[in-house]
């Protein structure tokens, strides 16, 4: 399904009153290290702590009255859950979030805190079975985490704001899980600055999008083991893959140990709490996966929902 810049622009109007226009930060230290002029779009400051709110709100706001009345369902143990929960609350749409029985307690509580009903599924069942059942019994609309044109258009508003606030960019680096943020930002970037080179960044252990991009065919991998929990996806989507092929110039990967180092660098030097997935694009820059010297670079810091105790343990090497 086609997604265009007009869709991004309309999404932007739709979310304007509810999403936060997150700040764009610069860092003399990062500029000195890279030789570039780097602009960080801080989606860790977005509502519920990640860019996901943009897409979720844009999707829920476009439901028909009858769909709104019946409610929505989403499957996620991560940021998408909280995004759908919060968008639902703001729009008065009942949200059911299906989470695995072993989801972290803090995520369960955060999702409930945003007003959603959480449905736990057991190991024996599949997400699809639970989905079919809920959809059949309650007539709920499924809100997918990335593979939906309204989700993609919503995520693209992050890049639109970045270009509006930072001015022209030569490079745009974007974290990649299922490709919703990457494809939305890439299509927005190519519309606003056709010469801007867009690069998607995955954890090395979960490089399915890199594989698909190089093969020009949709590849799948087993669920990857990586600290970048927002990028533990097994493949791009039917909608995001063609958009990535069309609008993204290159893909790259970073190792988990590099990601951890970059994450703490962002905490310590830029004073921003970013989660591992949120640091993917910054890591590609800091680890010199691209040659940025003399260029204007945009980096999406996509989220900041990290368990501090986990991070403290990693920091102290435990």
Q: Which CB atom, from 10 or from 20, has the smaller least distance to a copy of itself?
A: 20
Please tell me whether residue 109 binds a copy of itself under the rule CB under 8 A. no
Q: What is the DSSP string of 208-246?
A: HHHHHHHHTS----PPP--S-GGG--SS--TTHHHHHHH
At its nearest, how many Å lie between a copy of itself and the CB of residue 205? 25
| Residues whose CB falls within 8 Å of the CB of residue 29, separated by 6 or more in sequence, listed in order | 269, 270
Q: Say if residues 63 and 33 touch (Cβ distance below 8 Å).
A: no
Q: Is 77 a catalytic residue?
A: yes
312 binds a copy of itself (CB under 8 A): yes
Q: Is 215 in the site for a copy of itself (CB under 8 A)?
A: no
Q: Which residue lies nearer to a copy of itself by CB, 176 or 311?
A: 311
Does residue 175 bind a copy of itself (CB under 8 A)? no
Task: Verify binding: residue 304, a copy of itself, rule CB under 8 A.
Answer: yes
Near a copy of itself by CB under 8 A: residue from 153, 274, 285, 300? 274
C-beta closer to a copy of itself: residue 27 or 155: 27
Binding mask 18-37 for a copy of itself (x = CB under 8 A): --x--x-xx-x---------
- Closer CB to a copy of itself, residue 26 or residue 126? 26
**Contact between residue 15 and residue 157 where contact means Cβ atoms under 8 Å apart:** yes
Element (H, E) at 200: strand 197-203
Selected range binding a copy of itself among 5-13, 38-46, 186-194, 286-294, rule: CB under 8 A: 38-46
Contacts of 223-229 with CB under 8 Å at 24 or more apart are 226/256, 226/276, 227/203, 227/256, 227/259, 227/260, 227/276, 227/314, 228/175, 228/177, 228/203, 228/256, 228/259, 228/276, 228/277, 228/280, 229/78, 229/275, 229/276, 229/277
Strands laid side by side in the 117-121 sheet: 117-121, 95-100, 72-75, 141-142
- Active-site hit among 27, 76, 77, 212: 77
- Cα–Cα distance for residue pair 135/241, rounded to 1 Å: 26
**Binding to a copy of itself by residue 271, rule CB under 8 A?**
yes
**Does 235 qualify as catalytic in the annotation?**
no
Among 15, 45, 189, 248, binds a copy of itself (CB under 8 A): 45
Residue 49 Ramachandran class (φ > 0 left, ψ -120 to 50 alpha, else beta):
left
- The beta strands (E) that lie in 76-185 are given as 95-100, 117-121, 141-142, 171-175
One of 270, 283, 285, 300 touching a copy of itself (CB under 8 A): 270
Stretch of residues binding a copy of itself (CB under 8 A), selected from 57-65, 201-209, 272-280, 289-297: 272-280
Total interface residues for a copy of itself by CB under 8 A: 26
Among 33, 62, 67, 267, binds a copy of itself (CB under 8 A): 267
The residues binding a copy of itself (CB under 8 A) are 20, 23, 25-26, 28, 42, 44-45, 47, 49, 264, 267-268, 270-274, 304, 308-309, 311-313, 315-316
List active site positions. 52, 77
């Amino acid at each position: 399904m086609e997604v265009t810049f007009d869709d991004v622009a309309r999404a932007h109007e739709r979310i304007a009153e509810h999403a936060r226009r997150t700040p764009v930060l610069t860092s003399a230290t990062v500029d000195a290290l890279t030789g570039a002029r780097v602009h960080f779009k801080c989606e860790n400051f977005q509502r519920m702590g990640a860019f996901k709110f943009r897409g979720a709100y844009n999707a829920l706001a476009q439901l028909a009255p009858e769909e709104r009345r019946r409610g929505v369902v989403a499957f996620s143990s991560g940021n998408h859950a909280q995004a759908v929960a919060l968008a639902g609350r703001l729009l008065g749409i009942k949200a059911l979030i299906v989470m695995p029985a072993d989801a972290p307690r803090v995520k369960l509580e955060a999702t409930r805190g945003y007003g959603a009903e959480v449905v736990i599924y057991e190991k024996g069942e599949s997400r699809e079975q639970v989905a079919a059942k809920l959809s059949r019994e309650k007539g709920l609309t499924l809100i997918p985490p990335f593979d939906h044109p309204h989700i993609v258009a919503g995520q693209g508003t992050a890049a639109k704001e970045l270009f509006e606030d930072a001015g022209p960019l030569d490079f745009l680096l974007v974290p990649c899980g299922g490709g919703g943020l990457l494809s939305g930002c890439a299509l927005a970037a190519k519309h606003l600055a056709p010469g801007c080179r867009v690069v998607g960044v995955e954890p090395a252990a979960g490089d399915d999008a890199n594989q698909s991009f190089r093969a020009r065919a949709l590849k799948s991998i087993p669920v990857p083991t990586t600290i970048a929990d927002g990028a533990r996806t097994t493949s791009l989507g039917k909608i995001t893959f063609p958009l990535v092929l069309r609008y993204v110039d290159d893909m790259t990967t970073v190792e988990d140990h590099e990601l951890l180092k970059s994450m703490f660098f962002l905490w310590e030097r830029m004073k921003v709490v970013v989660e591992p997935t949120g640091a993917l694009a910054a890591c590609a820059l800091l680890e010199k996966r691209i040659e940025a010297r003399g260029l204007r670079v945009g980096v999406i810091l996509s989220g900041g929902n990290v368990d501090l105790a986990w991070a403290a343990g990693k920091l102290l090497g435990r």
